[in-house]
Amino acid sequence: MKRVVVLSAGLRQPSSTRMLADRIAEAVARDLDGLGDPAEVSPIELRDHAREALNNLLVGFPSPEFAELLDQVSGADALILVTPTFGATYNSLVKLFIDVLDEKALAGKPVLIAASGGTGRHSMMLDHAVRPLLTYLHAVVMPTGVFAAPEDWGAGHTTEGNLRQRIDRAAAELAAEVHRREPAKAYDMFAETPDFETLMGQ
């Protein structure tokens, strides 16, 4: 069973960001199942953990509950990150969460990036802002990003079909990448810390 964590940074409920995240997650789970690799999909609304993330940033360590969530992210086989577009970039919830993740937590991890926005003119923000952020953290970002503007949600319209095609292409890329890998292990930030006996022997 592969573990896929979906990080949604929408601010409202309901939100087009969460709706996009759910559609992508559905497609990824379907494709993994088709490859004989069923997935456990865990959605996480970043807004629900903003206070915990801020406390972590201020005091330097997470609460036990928030530490479990961070472990869930670092131990996932893949991530789906979906953000609304604010000022032609990702929103502050994404930045806050990335700031409290250990810098090695996403290293080598497959990530599908997506965004919702008020206009299609902001679609390049995925490649100008989100992709460089995750590449800096050494994540393996899928070639296809999915951007959804208001006009993409028109039921039955050509634009809706185009959105489905983008979702399907990105989901297929992520599923193939996850399928070929061994199951992930949670990153342990203390793994490289010498134990007490070793320190005393030095």
Q: Per the structure, how many domains does the chain have? A: 1
Q: How far apart are CA 164 and CA 183, in angstroms?
A: 28
Whether the link from the prior residue into 14 is cis, omega within 30° of 0, is yes
> CA angle 154-149-39, nearest 5°?
85
What is the model's pTM? Answer: 0.88
User: From the CB of residue 188, how many other CB atoms can be counted at a distance below 10 Å?
Assistant: 13
Residue pair 152/162 in contact by the 8 Å Cβ criterion: yes
Q: What is the mean pLDDT of each run of 10 residues along the chain (202 residues)?
A: 97 92 98 96 97 96 96 97 95 96 95 94 94 97 96 65 93 97 63 54 58
- Residue 28: give the domain boundaries: 2-201
Residue-level pLDDT at 18: 96
CATH number assigned to the domain comprising residue 125: 3.40.50.360
